[in-house]
Structure 1
Amino acid sequence: MSRNACILLSSFVLAGLALPLNAQDGQRPEVAAAASELGAKVVAWRRDLHQYPELGNRETRTAALVADHLRALGLEPKTGIATTGVTAVLRGGKPGPRIALRADMDALPVTETSGLPFASKATSTYRGETVGVMHACGHDAHTSVLMGVAEALVAMRDELPGEVLFVFQPAEEGPPDDEKGGAKEMLAQGVFRDFKPDAVFGLHVFSTLQAGKLGVRSGPTMAASDRFNIVVKGRQTHGSRPWGGVDPIVAAADVIGTAQTIVSRRQDISRQPVVVSFGAIKGGIRYNIIPDQVELVGTIRTFDDGMRDAVFADLANVAEKVAAAHGATVEANVPDQDGNPVTANDPPLTARMRPSLEKVAGPGNLVDMPLNMGAEDFSFYAREVPGLFFFVGATPAGQDPATAPSNHSPEFFLDESALDLGMRAMLQLTLDYLHGEGVPASGG
């Protein structure tokens, strides 16, 4: 087993007992009771999903597990939304507001090295290559938590005011090339058309937070995310005579180096942070052949629409002009598809629900999150209705969150106490909102 698995075995035992960690007097007793009753189920679901992960728009097993569970609860799930998405509506026994609760289901093309007894051995095809598949971002936890929340709320149906839409979403990490998917496609296919919620809630387990802590931020929280694709085109020649062609590898290397000045010299990062990162380089096949072309793909992260547009223009310009200096040409798609907008928490909703998170987390355990350069397509839901997206600590005691394997790492490790805390937080938010907690009294 890896060092993570050895060090953190105790967290498995604790999570398996489904003890409500950091349970506070202010949380609803039905929340603590549900967490105690359902905790072992949530852990079992999470471990099963972790062992059998699926890439975006391919979550057929996961979706079937979710839909079967919702049917067993007496709900009527809709399936096949945005390829593999699942939704269901719970109507409470009393009148009240409408809310949506969202969980994402997809995994990543990452080969797991955690050493867990239920580690993924799955493989799939991504961008034409055989890859390992892993829940390296914790979406298995999100799905399992929402399955538990659904079961808890169904048990309270008669006394529940209002209605709840459960949204189990595919492809949050992005659909495969040439496919549509994710939150944007869920909305395009009408997930909020027949059921327009008054608010939407979502959560994310996070490696930079210690287990037992919750994190939240009002307003802009996670960055806008855009992909780019740049193909540098040269002319193939033998490696022994580079003068016989145009070397796209050298040109591509120069494009990558010069592109670093877009942030460091062209963007006013005293206003808002900006990131331009290259994530993959593909070109050539043999040691002594200079190829025809090199493909570069990467991501752009911003918080300001003007800065976002400026980076698009600067990167396309750098690619074209630098390649031309080498005698090469480019096809620069910047961006190469619609990206995710900034994930912003509605300030009034955040202020209203913050006490609910404090009741569950306990004194000193609700963290004010800094701006996060990660991105989330929850942003699309939060543009339609007021949204609140919060974070659940995933890194166990004894590890420094600053150096722990991050989300998207092949060693990403979830302290399973996060399942208990996440379920209690989502239940407390849901019940407090539906029962009108924190709503200012109307003047008379």
Structure 2
Amino acid sequence: MKTMNRSILTTAAYAAFALYLSVLVSCKKDNGITVTPITPPDTTLRISALSTTTLHYGDTLTIEGSNFSVTAANNTVTINDVAATVQSATAAELKVIVPAVGATGGEVKIKTGNQTASGGNITYVPDVYVAGSQNNAAHALAIYWKNGAADTLSTEESALTSICITGNDVYAAGSERINNLQLANYWKNGVKTTLGTGASVANAIAVNGNNVHVGGWEVVNGFDIPRYWKNGTGISVNVNDPIISQTVLGNGSCYGICVSANNIYAVGYYRNSQGRFSPWEFINGIIPANTIPNNDKHCFANAVFVSGSDEYVAGSQNNATTGLAMATIWKDGTATTLTAGTASVGVATAVFVVGNDVYVAGYEQEDYYHSGLTFAKYWKNGVPVKLSTASSAATGIAVFGNDVYVSGWENNGTCKVAKYWKNGVPVNLGNAVLNSAGNAIVVR
């Protein structure tokens, strides 16, 4: 009996001990420290969406993403590597103003701190500005077209000859007739500044910072003298006539102005001591360089473009044998004729350079001895592209991306119509029954 009780007790003791161990282990599991991994916050700079992928200059682009700086200035946004102004910023959204991208497409990038992110490519649609004139029932009016929409700057008899776009400002040069006196003017955003005091015309305009440079002509002591105005103050261009080795004021004009690396280049022509027209040029309005050689015949400089260290001047010079004008481009003083001048008359009116490619606009009277028709053309590296088979002229040229834009006019059988050609395809601007002309073009 005692033996049985001890056995029962021993069995109970083992059971109790096993239960104790089980509880002990369970308690250790329940009370043990379990480490749950903590996911660190995602600080990666990302662009998740763009509000649109088709943009013009000045549009507002909204960029959505994550980890932007809430301080607008701490986010650097570029489109096609051109800096855009950041208007506002949150950690998840940026609003930026689209700059002049300079190409038909570009990649959107953001840099914040040491991180960069890409938002993919956008399509940039450039704005096309053409300056010229459009007749009403009485006379011509100074006008420019932006993407085909007309902006008339004067109600008086007037015309625009040149246009320049800087930021949000539109500068246009030309002339206006008041009380039967034609005066040189320029307009900034439609506000007129009169330059001449005598009969005068402004032919070219360029803007460098706050400085407005205008070239043209003005009648001084009975002679139409080449004139250059800086911020409204005019000077007459004194030309060193190499024939008589003297400085002279000769009949002529300033026709082209270009700004490059803060230098102002201007070109034009004057009547020399032998009665022929000769070209001139100056840099920064001080000393005429006179580095445009000619063949002792009439020679005109109509436009100037500076690319890097090279200067290009477009104009014409007469064929030494026939005396007929040849469209000509000078690169650093070395002439290349674009038309032969044997049976044709050619004039180069504008020049634009991209890399190693030289584009020249102008016109040619292909059969001088039998036809009076001139035809709008442009030349790329000397190879002609005929823009019209009707009487026409090309007056300005701009290249944007792979596209070539040329301003001018074309006769429709009733009147001259202002237009521009994009890659040879015409875009009408003027009224089809009233004379108009496109005299200059800018694409941005």
TM-score by length of 1: 0.22
Q: Which has the higher contact order (CA 8 A, sep 6+)?
A: 1
The structure where helix makes up a greater share of residues is 1
Higher strand share: 2
